[in-house]
Chain A
């Protein structure tokens, strides 16, 4: 079916506001990942879901960041009280099972977040 989709594609917000970013993984993929790509930087791992649970949240930069996944499908990444340093492209990826280190991750087009 379709690839990984993300919405919105672009989001401009004011400092201090909350934002929600959405990811629709490939149908049937049980593993879902969130990454952040800051200007001129590589991809920074944020969180990994296996089904609806998140066995690895080690990359979330602060308690302003949270993510959930319901029904083993759609995931939302929420950033509360946004700061200017949160400006980045937020990428979502999914893979079939997530338990094999050989697995290929399929990436969405990303959400470009700008905090003014």
Chain B
């Protein structure tokens, strides 16, 4: 079945450090891939998405590239800020087998000033 695996947290970084949160997936067909973010006390928000191989999603300085050959969609940011502290969820939605979105377990990021 379809699944998403992302790196366990928490991840603790200093401000302006480089961020990578790894995400790999298993899916039939050609899924769409998403990163969602959940800031403290808030609901999930879509951060970025990519819909086909080699697409790069980007938003708020975050980027992720859809790599079909490695079935990965790693999230990166060149210089994190304290305000980026949140939980990040990698997710996929397959174009077969229904309409559910499959989420990873989430990675909590703490950014220290």
Q: Please report A residues at the B interface, Cβ cutoff 8 Å.
A: 3-4, 31, 33, 35, 40-43, 45, 48, 50, 55-56, 58-59, 91, 93, 98-99, 101-102, 104-110
Contact = CB atoms under 8 A, between A and B. Distances in A.
B99 A31 contact: yes
Contacts, number: 62
A109 B42 contact: yes
Contacts of A3: 43
A56 B103 contact: no
Contact of B43 (A31, A45, A59, A109): A109
Contact of A101 (B31, B43, B106): B31
A58 B102 CA distance: 13
Contacts of B46: 104-106
B103 A107 contact: no
Contacts of A93: 44
24 contacts: A3-B43, A4-B43, A31-B99, A42-B104, A42-B106, A43-B89, A43-B91, A45-B101, A45-B102, A50-B99, A55-B99, A56-B98, A56-B100, A58-B98, A58-B100, A93-B44, A101-B95, A102-B49, A104-B46, A104-B49, A106-B46, A107-B44, A107-B45, A109-B42
Given A40-B105, A107-B43, A59 B100 contact: yes
